[in-house]
Every structure is written in C-alpha cells, then in structure tokens.
A and B are shown apart, each in its own frame.
Chain A
C-alpha cells in the first residue's frame, strides 16, 4: 500500500474512530432503557424502566431546570453575541474582547463554576466586599443565590463559557460574509448600524453559526460538571439526575438511568428541533421586517448596554479565577473579611503529591489527545487538498455529532463496550474518549487557515520538483505553524475540561484536575478547590501562551542566526 492510499483512508478512519463509540454507546444505553441488560437479569424487553422514570417524583422539576437553564443560556449567549457584534462592528472593543475570549474559552467549565460559586454565594466575595459596612449583614443573608431555585446561577455560568465560543465562531464566520460591504451598502441606504447588521449581515452569518449554536444548546441542556457546582441538587437538572442514577447503589436503577439517558437525548433532539422551528419562524417574520424598511437608530444605548453586559461577564470570570487563586494560598478567610486574614502555602505543600499525579495525568491525556487529533485533522485536510475535495455540510454534521449528542446519553454504553474489548480504565480508553471531543474543535480551529493558505506556494514547490509529502512537511507545516500550534492548544484545553468521559472511560483510575475539582466541590474546603481550580485554569492558559510564544521565539532565533551568518 502506498502512502497516498493510506492518506485516502484517513478521513474514513477518523470518522470511524469517533463515531463508532458514540453509535455503539447509544445502542448500549438504549437496550437497558428497554429492559434488556442480561447482567442484571434483564433478558426481555419491557417498558418498566420508562414507567419508573416517569413515576420519579422529581422528574418534572428536573426537566424544568434543564429546559430553563439550557434555553436561557443559549438564547442569552446568542443574543449577546449578535447584539455586541452588531452594535460594535468595526470598533476597537471587538478586538479587545476577542483577545479576552480565547483565554476564557480555554478555562475549564469546572474552574469557572467554582470561581463563580464563590463570588455569588450569600457569603461569597461580592457580599464580603460590601459587608457589613454597607449592608449591615454581620451574618450572610439567607438569600437563595446559590443554588437558586430556577438554575439562574447555572445559566450565568453557562453564558460565561458559551459566549466566548459563540463569539469566536461568529467572528470567524464574519470573515467569510463580506460584512463590511454589506454594511456599507445598508448604511448608504440610510440604515442605522445595528439595524444594518441585523438585516444584512446576520442572515449570512447565521447559516454558518447554526451548528455551533446547536452545540451550545445541546451542551447547556446536558451539562453535568457545572450543574453539580451551580445548580439546585434536590432535584438536580436531568443530566445530573441521570448521572446519579447510573451510580445508584440500587442496581435496578441502572435501567431507569438508561431510560433517563434516552430521555436526555430526546430532550436535546426536541430542543434543537424547536430551535430550528424558531429559526424558520424568525426567517419568515424577518423577511417582512426587512422589507418593511425601518432604518433604526444609532444604537448608542444598546452599544453601552451590551458592552457593559459583556464586560461584566469578563470581570466576573476573572474575579472568580482570581478568588480561586487567592483561596489556594489562604489559611483563614472568614466572612465578612474582604480579603484572607492569613495566608500560607501549606495547602500546596500538603497536596504536593496529589498535584503532581493529577497534573501529570491531565498533561499526558491532554497532549496525547491533542496531538493525535492534530495528526488526524492534518491528514484529512491534506487529503482533501490533494484530491480537490471539499467537506460537505453532511460531513460537518458528523463532525459535530459528539458535540450534539449529550455525553450522559452514550458514555455508559461506551463504557460497557470498552470493558468488552478490554481497554477500559486504560490510557487508550481515556485518550480515545477525550479524542471524541477534542477532534471536532481541532478541526474547526484549523480548517480555515489550512484552506486559506495560498495554493500557489505548494504549486511552486511542486514545480520545483518537491514531492507532495515534502511540500507538506517543508512548506505547508512551517507556514501554518501558528494556527497548528493554536489548534493544538485548543485541543489540549478541550481535553483538560472533560469530566464525564474521564470518569466513565478512565474507570475512576485516572484522576485529572477536572475530576478532582468537581469531586472536591462537594467537599467544602475552598482552599483545596482553589488549588485545583487554579491549576485547571492555568494549564490550558499556559498551553495557549506557549502556542503564541513559540513561533515568535523561532522567528527570533532565525533572525539571530541570520545576523551571525
């Protein structure tokens, strides 16, 4: 088999690598949901799991929390994104915010949630800063801010994580939609800036960010780690409830859990369908709205408002992480002190061994997943270019599949599968499970730059007699060093943030910074949480910093060499 042939099989192999576990996992979850699970004496099919599920007293409230926080978080992130981009188009603030969004995107959900939880709790930092001198609260007020009965803290946390993703995806979509020209036309026709953006740019951009929005919706409806930290617990949102059932000591609850996992999938599918319906409706109304010709105002008030909202989110995220870092070096920090009353590095030294192990595991799994994903993605893109193929919309849907299917809906089935092929609780299973989620993000962050590379460079090189492989290694990769490193950092960050896959595939033997941070969140010692949240956030940020610094470093050393020569 020649090298070329190998490359041709790569896209198929890649899809298999990460669709097979999802598909098999879904089947392995559906069978028990309908009573078939021989290990627990379930040999026939029945609807009993569903009857038990529907009879569960907390189910309506769980569903309410799930739907409320899922839709509210998605809608808020989406509206903030488009209103911000519409109101501030071309402004310097967009560049500034873009620069801040990448690190926010890199910070794992759990670290963000822990930080936010400490900020907004009744005895949290925000209250401490103004108490008791301004509020008179010698004791924290008995206010239900965390968790709040409607899951608003979870919604806020989700927005803080999903807004950067949507904003960056939309910004990249904007580059392909000739937004400046559309706006120039619309404004020369008398449209205000926001109205012009909404009526001429949004319809073009929306098409490109539809899948990312669905991914945000699916994620928000099925998040587990953030919900365990920020959402009400009795009862919790559906995904957490399903996760708990899978861990119930009463083994018959596995059937209910499986049915719940299927329900979770149905909820996501229905939600996406509902959103799609909303899109169609909005498009229909939107056409009439556009044809109505209303020009809109200057949008100054809106600009001030949306800027303030986004700045508040950024400040909250930064303050939360700062608080966690501060806790990690605290000895004592009681309510209502605005700052710790005594500091110490005891916790760091006490946890030394743990820190080394968990950081090591996190690093190894993250780097392995990121580099494997990078190799596969580069192979697929290179194959596509050599053959002049382009990725179809349908293939893109496949790529997004692991981001659209709720994790809790297939991980149990995949776990059973991995046990059967004898790789459960091994590095293979762990890295593979991370790869499912790392691969799409690496692809998304690399495809644009790879395709944008001026084809004439490689044509010139080929005409100079270089083989395609030589062109790939000596021309394309060096020219694409920056985006390649960036995509690797993205992949690493995605791996670090994984919670459920680490638990299910790693069999609990692999403790990463994320599993540690979430399991500690129930424990109460904020200083220890601080250590792990800090490390959890620091690792991906360091990866991004390295991805940015390395090309500069190489350029400088080249300049030095040239000087010497």
Chain B
C-alpha cells in the first residue's frame, strides 16, 4: 500500500491521465494508485471533470473529449480495451436500475454468464439479496422500492458482475442524510470485503471522511491542488502520489 509505481502492482493505477476538449486541457495530469480494498477519493467542484475521469477509466468517455495516459488494473494496461473488457464496475448518482426488469432481473443482468444453471443463478441472487437484508424483494418492480433500497440493489448488481475495481460517481448525493451514512458504510464494507480498489469522486467532504482513504483535491481548472495519504481529518504534511 505504500509501494509506489510498481508495474506488477495489484489494484488500480492511473498514470499521467489527462482529459482535454478540442485541445484545451480539462483535467490532469493525474497519477494515482488505488490498492485492493482501499478507497481513494477525488474531490472537486462540479464541472471540474471528475465524472469524465471515471468515464475515461471505464472506457465510456464522451467521443467529444480526448483522454490520454494509461490505466492499469492488477498490472495490466486496460486503457485501450473496450469498456466490457475492463472489468470495472461503476455506480452513479442515479441508481439506473432498469425499469423493464424486476429486482432479480436487474441482478441477473449483472451476474456473469459463466454461471449457466438457472438454479445456480437464482441461488446467487437470493444469497446476495439476503445478505443485504432484502430477501423478500426478489420479484419486486424497482419502481416500488425506496431510494435506499434501490441504491443497494444497484451496488449488488455491480458486485455480482465480479468487477476487479469499483468506481463511484457521487452515488450518495441523492440520498437523504440518514440514509447516506448507512449506504456509504454498506458500499465501503462490501468494497473492502471483496478487496476491490475503489475510486470515489464527490464534492461532499463527508463522503471523503467516511471513505477513510487518501484524498485528492482538484480545483475548478482541473489541476490537482492537494492530496493526502490519510483520511481527511488527519491530513498529513506531505502530498502523496500526485506526481511521479
């Protein structure tokens, strides 16, 4: 976790990532490493390109933007891979559950096709739901769920797809304050339990605080202006991993 820039390193590594629009730089250059089980938070005002950064990592960057730099996942360069070949899960501010599918349908959508047997698939989904205290929601229409429940299903869907890294695009912003704390710990607990390198972007300091990992701050011009390797409240003196 303290080792910097090792090619064979586990986890998610961003190297000299830069986003530009029509030749004009939006964000970066940015380099960082997220170790398995660690949550790195990128903070910044809206419009600084945080979300585009995540889109670049999972390969769905708006064609109007140009991205450069390398992304390594568990030692492999995934920058040129198609989104579906990157094994990077993402959660958005909106849960984006598919309204045409039931809760189970949404989860089955995430489940890898290698699990062929219908009963096995069903068992995996039931197991995941039970573990989230949502066993009775199997056949429910997502529209009938509360905000917190929907958020949990969205996370389960992502986790069931067995990603190698997790990206969080302000997934807590739309939940009310009480729910937010609970869902945050739900997400972080799961990410840690599955040893997923997790990259969170947010403009809410509380998110960063709860994440308990290193924090990078980006200013409105897209420049990295501060960074710590500690949780926010214990911000240390020396910047870390902002440059290599």
Q: B108 contacts A290, CB within 8 Å?
A: yes
Is the C-beta of B68 less than 8 angstroms from some C-beta in chain A? no
- Count of A-B residue pairs with CB < 8 Å: 94
Q: Which of B81-129 contact A (CB under 8 A)?
A: 82-90, 92, 94, 96, 98-101, 104-105, 108-113, 115, 121
Q: B109 contacts A291, CB within 8 Å?
A: yes
**7 A/B residue pairs, CB under 8 Å, sorted by A:** A180-B60, A184-B55, A189-B84, A204-B99, A290-B101, A293-B115, A295-B84
Q: A184 contacts B98, CB within 8 Å?
A: no
Give CA–CA (A193, B83) in the complex, Å.
9
Q: A178 contacts B96, CB within 8 Å?
A: yes
Q: B98 contacts A200, CB within 8 Å?
A: yes
Q: Could you say which of A92, A185, A187, A203 has the most chain B C-beta atoms within 10 Å of its C-beta? A: A185
Q: Which of B110-166 contact A (CB under 8 A)?
A: 110-113, 115, 121, 157-158, 161, 163
Q: A190 contacts B96, CB within 8 Å?
A: no
Is the C-beta of A182 less than 8 angstroms from some C-beta in chain B? yes
Q: Which residues of B contact A185 (CB under 8 A)?
A: 90, 92, 96
Q: Which of B216-237 contact A (CB under 8 A)?
A: none
Q: A188 contacts B121, CB within 8 Å?
A: no
Is the C-beta of B72 less than 8 angstroms from some C-beta in chain A? no
Give CA–CA (A82, B240) in the complex, Å.
48
Is the C-beta of A526 less than 8 angstroms from some C-beta in chain B? no
A101–chain B nearest beta-carbon distance, Å: 20
Is the C-beta of B26 less than 8 angstroms from some C-beta in chain A? no
Give CA–CA (A182, B109) in the complex, Å.
12
Q: Which residues of A contact B89 (CB under 8 A)?
A: 188-189
Q: B90 contacts A193, CB within 8 Å?
A: no
Q: A291 contacts B105, CB within 8 Å?
A: yes
Give CA–CA (A287, B105) in the complex, Å.
7
Give CA–CA (A264, B94) in the complex, Å.
48
In this complex, the interface size class of chain A, counting residues with CB under 8 Å from chain B, is 20 to 34
Q: B101 contacts A188, CB within 8 Å?
A: no
Q: Provided the pairs A178-B96, A184-B58 are in contact, do residues A189 and B101 lie with their beta carbons within 8 angstroms?
A: no
Is the C-beta of A90 less than 8 angstroms from some C-beta in chain B? yes
A95–chain B nearest beta-carbon distance, Å: 10
A371–chain B nearest beta-carbon distance, Å: 38
Give CA–CA (A292, B109) in the complex, Å.
7
* A178 to B, closest residue via Cβ: B96
A514–chain B nearest beta-carbon distance, Å: 41
Besides A181-B94, A187-B60, A291-B121, 6 new A-B residue pairs in contact (Cβ under 8 A), listed by A number: A182-B96, A184-B90, A186-B109, A189-B158, A192-B84, A291-B104
Is the C-beta of B214 less than 8 angstroms from some C-beta in chain A? no
Q: B115 contacts A204, CB within 8 Å?
A: no
Q: Which residues of A contact B115 (CB under 8 A)?
A: 293
A88–chain B nearest beta-carbon distance, Å: 12
Q: Provided the pairs A188-B90, A204-B99, A204-B100 are in contact, do residues A183 and B112 lie with their beta carbons within 8 angstroms?
A: no
Q: Which of B158-181 contact A (CB under 8 A)?
A: 158, 161, 163, 167
B80–chain A nearest beta-carbon distance, Å: 13
Interchain CB contact (< 8 A) of B101 among A178, A190, A287, A295: A287
A332–chain B nearest beta-carbon distance, Å: 51
Is the C-beta of B63 less than 8 angstroms from some C-beta in chain A? yes
Q: Which residues of B contact A191 (CB under 8 A)?
A: 84
Give CA–CA (A191, B111) in the complex, Å.
11
Q: Which residues of A contact B112 (CB under 8 A)?
A: 190, 293, 295
Q: Provided the pairs A188-B158, A190-B161, A295-B84 are in contact, do residues A203 and B98 lie with their beta carbons within 8 angstroms?
A: yes
Q: Which residues of B contact A90 (CB under 8 A)?
A: 63
Q: A298 contacts B82, CB within 8 Å?
A: yes
B129–chain A nearest beta-carbon distance, Å: 14
Q: Provided the pairs A185-B90, A204-B99 are in contact, do residues A293 and B84 lie with their beta carbons within 8 angstroms?
A: no
Give CA–CA (A180, B59) in the complex, Å.
12
Q: Which residues of A contact B111 (CB under 8 A)?
A: 293
Q: A188 contacts B88, CB within 8 Å?
A: yes
Is the C-beta of A199 less than 8 angstroms from some C-beta in chain B? yes
Give CA–CA (A326, B58) in the complex, Å.
52
Q: Which of A188-216 contact B (CB under 8 A)?
A: 188-193, 196, 199-200, 203-204
Q: Provided the pairs A181-B96, A183-B60, A189-B157 are in contact, do residues A293 and B121 lie with their beta carbons within 8 angstroms?
A: yes
Q: Which residues of A contact B98 (CB under 8 A)?
A: 182, 200, 203-204
Q: Which residues of B contact A292 (CB under 8 A)?
A: 108, 113
Q: Could you say which of A182, A184, A199, A200 has the most chain B C-beta atoms within 10 Å of its C-beta? A: A184
Q: Which residues of B contact A64 (CB under 8 A)?
A: none
Q: B105 contacts A293, CB within 8 Å?
A: no
Q: Which residues of A contact B85 (CB under 8 A)?
A: 190
Q: B84 contacts A291, CB within 8 Å?
A: no
Q: A187 contacts B83, CB within 8 Å?
A: yes
Q: Which residues of A contact B84 (CB under 8 A)?
A: 187-193, 196, 295
Interchain CB contact (< 8 A) of A181 among B88, B92, B161: B92
Q: Which residues of A contact B63 (CB under 8 A)?
A: 90-92
A194–chain B nearest beta-carbon distance, Å: 11
Q: B60 contacts A193, CB within 8 Å?
A: no
Q: A187 contacts B87, CB within 8 Å?
A: no
Give CA–CA (A191, B113) in the complex, Å.
10
Give CA–CA (A293, B98) in the complex, Å.
14
What are the 6 tightest A-B residue pairs by CB atom distance, in nearest-first order?
A187-B83, A291-B108, A203-B100, A189-B161, A293-B113, A184-B60
Q: Provided the pairs A187-B59, A187-B60, A190-B84 are in contact, do residues A290 and B92 lie with their beta carbons within 8 angstroms?
A: no
Interchain CB contact (< 8 A) of A290 among B58, B86, B109: B109
Q: Which residues of B contact A293 (CB under 8 A)?
A: 108-113, 115, 121
Q: A188 contacts B105, CB within 8 Å?
A: no
Q: Which residues of A contact B101 (CB under 8 A)?
A: 203, 287, 290-291
* A91 to B, closest residue via Cβ: B63
Q: Provided the pairs A184-B55, A188-B163 are in contact, do residues A294 and B113 lie with their beta carbons within 8 angstroms?
A: yes
